Amino acid sequence: MSNNDNIINRILASRAKFSHKNTSYNKCDEEGGCGVTGFISSIQIRGRHIYEPSVQMHNRGNGKGGGIAAVGLCASDLGVTQEVLDSHYLIQIAYIDPKSRPEVELANIVPFMDIHKAEKIPTIDDYRDIGLEVKPPDVWRYFCRVNKNILSIFIEDNKLHEMDPHKAEDEFIYQNSVSLNQKFYASLGEKKAFVMSHGRNVMILKVVGYAEHVTQYYCLEDFKAHGWIAHQRYPTRGRLWHPGGAHPFSGMHEALVHNGDFANYHSVSEYLNQYNIYPQFLTDTEVSVLLLDLYSRTFGYPMEYIIEALAPTTENDFDRLPFEKQRIYRYIQSQHVSCSPDGPWFFIIARNDPYKKAFQLIGITDTSMLRPQVFALQEGEVQIGLVCSEKQAIDATLQNLASEDSRFCPVADKYWNARGGSARTGGSFIFTVKDSSKGAGSKELVTTNKFGQIVSTPSNQKHFNDSISISKPLDQDNILQTIKKHIESDDIDELKSFCIKNVINWNYDSLKLLCDELVNQSKNSDKSKTNAICTLTYLNDTVFPTGTKKRSSILNMLRNSLALIFSSTPMLNKPSESIYKYIDFITRDTLRAPEKNEKILVVNAREFAAEGIDCDARVLNKAYILGWKQYICYGYKGQRFTGCGFGKGTDGVRIDVYDSSGDYLASGIDGMEIYVHGNAQDQLGQIMKRGKLVIYGDVGQTFMYGAKGGNVFILGRAAGRPLINGTGCPRVVINGTCLDYLAESFMAGDPLNGGGFVILNGMEYNDCGCLVTLPSPYPGSNLFSLASGGAIYIRDPFKIIVEDQLNGGEFADLSQADWELIYPYLKENEKLFGISIEDDLLTVNGKKMEYKKVYRKVQAIKLAALS
């Protein structure tokens, strides 16, 4: 037995002293998913910035549990020195019964700890002022170290001499908290107090309410930290009087929030019990963090192996791993698969690694990707990494930060979804903040995937800094004249190509000038306005090389200009001759039928509710009944159901959607056209019947579930489970790829005879704005599983897709008829996105190839299971 094993066994043995006779074995609450969000930055960020994304995800919680955690805290905010902050434990104890404090301190703090500082966390006077129904517990924070003598006795008793004494101290703190919770929480009918967190330089606070209540109640608006995570809980039990079950939970130096729910709580608990670990709060989240703590602190696994133990790599992905990895992963899986959380889950972990002097934010998804998740990264003068349930919470965070600090841009440089158990990325990403080479306490953020490979953005590109005043660009006259000429002569295509041609060499000043001039021109006439919108939209939708400029900054500039043009549209209740009319939340009651030449309703969605009677989707419904057919909707921050509820036969309706649109967009549409000018969210196009949907970006989970038809064009990628249970004749072009489970149980007839199909091009724009072929056109292990109809046309010139990825489908040669079928769709794709059939799709490594050699067809076979 090696030395290491000895220590592990001694640590585990030392935990055996606790009696858990009175601890319940049953899960306390069922809870569904929730809303989770987190970010970490190279600079410290104020608590108020976790507020906005939390508010954005209100509808993912029900106000019965909210929590936040912060890591990499600011010493001066806490009134201690940096040295104390780094070396001392920050124990936070929630006193559900405030009178229990002397008793608790006497039992578990005073006898063992050298207390450097103890204080009650300041709160506002009355919890009811911010809408809380249950008074949050009094939380006391103690900066302390374990008393030297006590620690030596502990080390002596448990024979932990070979251990780093600070790690032994960690273990003491951990056990002391278990003991405290045992005495005052877990084994009592009347719960008195519990430890919220006890790590170094990390803290957790939670309430019965929404997450943002935490920042308000505990006065954290100006409290600074590198990393923040927040959680909106959705417990299905109605009456709660203390936040013991709320997230985040802590093992040692970390905080974990979780969205989802396990089917195997009991088997995970039993596994933990074998190591003398007993859950005390009885939720999935607690067992997750206990598992994490066991793997990392006791077993000493590196993060990669911990992630593998939680979310095993399976199927085709496992086959694609290097041999050496397969060998190790096989060991990990045989040891841990029985206690890997089963069911939908997504973890966000904020952690302090005091031994490596790094703060980390980690997002891990389950192998089946059953919970929504978006990652984002921005790298400039300062760097920030974000993880969230919904993209609009990321945008809200960045907008909020940018409004205060010009080093942040409201648009992230990169957005992506993790593919669970992926052989390429591992399905999880780690943002690490550590000391930078620049010294003077400055930090830098490094993003890596599970395998430690770095994820980054082009280093030669710079963000636009709007705090620096704009100087007059050299080519000012040329730009102004060209715009004027083309706008007036209605020659938009010329203007577009002028912009695309020059944008690579322009600096931000020229670009700003272009945008401002277009805004100016838009005021002249409806025609100029249409042309200006058209040009700006085109630039927003098209991916082009940006030179040394960040695409995120350019997009932000374009979107701001569009918003300016939209918001300067005449109000519905003000007289004007314009074909454009504006309506927003405040003026929604002025909605009336279009008069005279009025044609386009511009809807500012910003202040509308995400759903329900005050949502913008209702306004669109009413407007449609009144006779409006064309809409520009902008200002979205995740409002849902755009285009829903119009009913049957909506041909001639067109909706243009800008900004962070929400879930269920275009669901059930029958005839109308919707253009989404940016990334779209989850559950788009459910049961879609007919019509056209164009997405100038990526789409989220379960896209077009149960769709019956429609022509759909996606510039980017789709996340997990697109087109499941598709029937009828949906026809879809996806230029990127999908995470997994594309067109499972697809039943859309015979594509050559009016049925449906999906064209998967497997291409994406790289950081330089050039279209490139992806390493695999379809990385998932399940393509067209159990399908009985329809077909997938997949651009796979290198024949990377293998039989193993098809569960029930078969490869077939592409016939002339097939090509003639898909050609018009690729042609439309070319028109919409500028992805050329000849130059991009059929050109492989610079060589033109025959369609038969480039595309492959996957078709349904008659399965015994289906007859």
Long-range residue pairs from 72-75, CB within 8 A, at least 24 positions apart, any chain: 72/40, 72/44, 72/201, 72/225, 72/226, 72/227, 72/352, 72/359, 72/433, 73/201, 73/202, 73/203, 73/223, 73/224, 73/225, 74/44, 74/223, 74/224, 74/225
Residue 267 interacting with another protein (CB under 8 A): no
What the block records as the tokens of 511 is 């670009």
Q: What's the min distance (Å) between Cβ of 327 and another protein?
A: 33
Residue 234 interacting with another protein (CB under 8 A): yes
Residue 342 interacting with another protein (CB under 8 A): no
What the block records as the tokens of 23 is 């601890």
Residue 344 interacting with another protein (CB under 8 A): yes
User: 808: which strand partners?
Assistant: none
Residue 687 interacting with another protein (CB under 8 A): yes
What track of x and - describes contact with another protein for positions 43 through 82 (by CB under 8 A)? ----------------xxxx--------------------
Q: Which residue lies nearer to another protein by CB, 59 or 340?
A: 59
Residue 264 interacting with another protein (CB under 8 A): no
Residue 633 interacting with another protein (CB under 8 A): no
Candidates 28-36, 157-165, 463-471, 802-810: pick the segment binding another protein (CB under 8 A).
28-36
What the block records as the tokens of 198 is 């006890």
Candidates 126-134, 325-333, 500-508, 719-727: pick the segment binding another protein (CB under 8 A).
719-727
Of the residues 506, 705, 713, 765, which one makes contact with another protein according to CB under 8 A: 705
Residue 29 interacting with another protein (CB under 8 A): yes
Residue 647 interacting with another protein (CB under 8 A): yes
3-state secondary structure string, 343-375?
A: CCEEEEEEEEECCCCEEEEEEEECCCCCCCCEE
Q: Which residue has the tokens 């939670």?
A: 206
Closest CA to 463 of 528, 556, 532, 365: 556
- The 3-state DSSP composition of the chain as helix, strand, coil percent (nearest 5) reads 35, 25, 45
Residue 165 interacting with another protein (CB under 8 A): no
Residue 612 interacting with another protein (CB under 8 A): yes
Of the residues 165, 547, 570, 645, which one makes contact with another protein according to CB under 8 A: 645
Of the residues 76, 236, 273, 497, which one makes contact with another protein according to CB under 8 A: 236
Residue 829 interacting with another protein (CB under 8 A): no
Residue 24 interacting with another protein (CB under 8 A): no
How far apart (Å, rounded) are the C-alpha atoms in residues 480 and 510? 10
Q: Which residue lies nearer to another protein by CB, 495 or 666?
A: 666
How far apart (Å, rounded) are the C-alpha atoms in residues 253 and 204? 11
10 Å Cβ neighbour count for 624?
Answer: 20
Q: Which residue lies nearer to another protein by CB, 246 or 487?
A: 246
Residue 588 interacting with another protein (CB under 8 A): no
Q: Which residue lies nearer to another protein by CB, 275 or 641?
A: 641
Q: Which residue lies nearer to another protein by CB, 293 or 744?
A: 744
Residue 427 interacting with another protein (CB under 8 A): no
What SS3 state is found at 836? coil
Of the residues 38, 53, 260, 594, which one makes contact with another protein according to CB under 8 A: 260
At a CB cut-off of 8 Å and minimum separation 6, what does 327 contact?
A: none
Residue 469 interacting with another protein (CB under 8 A): no
What the block records as the tokens of 791 is 């077909």
Q: What's the min distance (Å) between Cβ of 691 and another protein?
A: 11
Of the residues 447, 510, 702, 859, which one makes contact with another protein according to CB under 8 A: 702
How many binding residues for another protein (CB under 8 A)? 69
How far apart (Å, rounded) are the C-alpha atoms in residues 867 and 865? 6
**Could you give the strand order of the β-sheet that contains 443-449, starting from the edge strand earlier in sequence?**
254-260, 345-353, 358-365, 428-435, 443-449, 454-455
How far apart (Å, rounded) are the C-alpha atoms in residues 197 and 206? 11
Residue 641 interacting with another protein (CB under 8 A): yes
How far apart (Å, rounded) are the C-alpha atoms in residues 188 and 360? 35
Residue 287 interacting with another protein (CB under 8 A): no
Residue 585 interacting with another protein (CB under 8 A): no
Q: Which residue has the tokens 């509308």?
A: 608
- Contact positions with another protein (CB under 8 A) in 240-259: 259
Q: ∠ CA 666-672-674 to the nearest 5 degrees?
A: 50
How far apart (Å, rounded) are the C-alpha atoms in residues 667 and 686? 4
Of the residues 618, 637, 677, 731, which one makes contact with another protein according to CB under 8 A: 618
Residue 615 interacting with another protein (CB under 8 A): yes
Residue 847 interacting with another protein (CB under 8 A): no
Residue 701 interacting with another protein (CB under 8 A): yes
Q: What is the distance of C-alpha 263 from the center of its chain?
A: 24
Yes or no: say if 602 and 632 are a contact pair by the CB < 8 Å rule.
Answer: yes
Yes or no: say if 642 and 674 are a contact pair by the CB < 8 Å rule.
Answer: yes
Candidates 112-120, 151-159, 200-208, 746-754: pick the segment binding another protein (CB under 8 A).
746-754
Q: What's the min distance (Å) between Cβ of 33 and another protein?
A: 3
Residue 757 interacting with another protein (CB under 8 A): no
Residue 471 interacting with another protein (CB under 8 A): no
How far apart (Å, rounded) are the C-alpha atoms in residues 379 and 446? 9
Yes or no: say if 720 and 740 are a contact pair by the CB < 8 Å rule.
Answer: yes
Q: What's the min distance (Å) between Cβ of 690 and another protein?
A: 10
Candidates 269-277, 417-425, 571-579, 643-651: pick the segment binding another protein (CB under 8 A).
643-651
Candidates 303-311, 481-489, 784-792, 837-845: pick the segment binding another protein (CB under 8 A).
784-792
Residue 441 interacting with another protein (CB under 8 A): no
Residue 783 interacting with another protein (CB under 8 A): no
* Amino acid, single-letter form, for residue 75: A
Residue 627 interacting with another protein (CB under 8 A): no
Q: Which residue lies nearer to another protein by CB, 246 or 503?
A: 246
- Contact positions with another protein (CB under 8 A) in 365-394: 370-371
DSSP string, 753-783: GT--EEEE--EEE-TTS-EEE-S-S--SS-B
Task: Give burial (CB, 10 Å; 0-12/13-18/19+) of 298.
Answer: buried
Residue 866 interacting with another protein (CB under 8 A): yes
| Nearest-10 crossing angle of helices 165-181, 148-158 | 90
Of the residues 17, 120, 148, 237, which one makes contact with another protein according to CB under 8 A: 237
Residue 667 interacting with another protein (CB under 8 A): yes
Closest CA to 781 of 755, 809, 761: 809
Residue 836 interacting with another protein (CB under 8 A): no
Strand 443-449 to strand 454-455: parallel, antiparallel, or no bridges (unpaired)?
antiparallel
Residue 747 interacting with another protein (CB under 8 A): yes
Residue 718 interacting with another protein (CB under 8 A): no
Of the residues 11, 14, 33, 169, which one makes contact with another protein according to CB under 8 A: 33
Residue 749 interacting with another protein (CB under 8 A): yes
Residue 788 interacting with another protein (CB under 8 A): yes
Strand 202-207 to strand 358-365: parallel, antiparallel, or no bridges (unpaired)?
unpaired
Residue 683 interacting with another protein (CB under 8 A): yes
Residue 686 interacting with another protein (CB under 8 A): yes
What the block records as the tokens of 291 is 């598992």
Closest CA to 214 of 32, 50, 97: 50
Candidates 80-88, 325-333, 524-532, 613-621: pick the segment binding another protein (CB under 8 A).
613-621
Long-range residue pairs from 426-429, CB within 8 A, at least 24 positions apart, any chain: 426/304, 426/307, 426/308, 426/313, 426/450, 426/451, 427/307, 427/311, 427/364, 427/365, 427/367, 427/369, 428/307, 428/311, 428/362, 428/363, 428/364, 428/365, 429/362, 429/363, 429/375, 429/385, 429/387, 429/455
Residues that bind another protein in the complex, under the rule CB under 8 A: 29-35, 59-62, 234, 236-239, 259-261, 344, 370-371, 611-612, 615, 617-618, 640-641, 644-648, 663-664, 667-670, 682-683, 686-687, 689, 701-702, 705-706, 708, 721, 724-725, 727-729, 744-745, 747-749, 786, 788-789, 860, 862, 865-867
